[in-house]
Amino acid sequence: MKRVSIVGGGGNVGASAGLYLAERGIAEVLLVDVLEGVPQGKGLDLLQAGAIRGYDAKVEGTNRIEDIAGSDVVLVTAGLARKPGMSRTDLLQKNAEIVGGIATGIKTYAPNAIVVVVSNPLDIMTYHLRKITGFPPQRVMGMAGILDSARFRAFIAQALGVAVTDVQAMVLGGHGDSMVPLPRYSTVSGVPITELLDAATIERLVDRTRKGGGEIVALLKTGSAFYAPGASAVQMIEAVLLDSKRFAPAAAYLNGEYGLSDVYVGVPAVIGAKGVERIVELPLTESEKEALHRSAAEVKSGIAELG
């Protein structure tokens, strides 16, 4: 049985991901958190839920980072969540300290693992973790593209009154207000949404997608989204564990692709047992390419702040 460790597993995103993984039955799940008793309690709760939900996964909790030894995948969800009025970059320095410590633990105890990062600001934290671990870039990826695309898909489905499962969408760029939803590459059962919705409606949905995380933060008031982020991370983990070659947007390290270098940013990727196995370069219009470069510039600015 494969083994997945969720560092930050005592929080909402980590615990949600733990549940989704347990229900899939494809890995043992270890919840890791600094809060004494919390990952153990949530792990026990998830274990007991299996008797009702019909899964038989091994789920445990621990406060010891060294217990991640032998993990095939490490999911990093630890860090402070955004509060209303707080931007992702406001979290930068504090979460960099947290993620940096985790990166050292992963390098020491799980040196062969694939790493998926959810901690915000996501693209910057993914770069930061990869730098500290020294892992090959393809073994460290950020989650956000699937989440941002899922939000775009949900809004498109609402606007058209169709099943969200029939909608596919593509969102590139950093995980923030400068992300780049691509209506040309977003479809309903293969039909581009540009054939189904007028330009004003599409622009409204694009804008709502860019602000999708903030919308939930404003509604919750004491935290941020966790069901969809957890599900998005598990989709990536599943692609690694099953070597399914999933074609999806992910925060991946660019080395010349799309004219960008030495930065993590959301791009279409093929995800399999080796992590990000291939980056797919889509033909972009000049305005789309400019938007992607602006988004990447924001990520690079955050990376420079960390030094």
| Active-site residue set | 175
Q: What is the DSSP letter of 239?
A: H
Interatomic CA distance for residues 276 and 68, integer angstroms: 22
* Largest distance between two CA atoms of the chain: 54
Distances in Å between the Cα of 108 and the Cα atoms of 65, 70, 190 are 10, 11, 46
What does the block give as tokens for 199? Answer: 């330009």
The residues, ordered by sequence, that sit 6+ positions from 82 with a Cβ below 8 Å of its Cβ are 88, 90, 91, 120, 213, 214, 217, 224
Of 209, 212, 191, the residue nearest 201 (C-alpha): 209
- Mutual orientation of helices 144-160 and 227-241 as an angle, nearest 10°? 120
Interatomic CA distance for residues 3 and 287, integer angstroms: 43
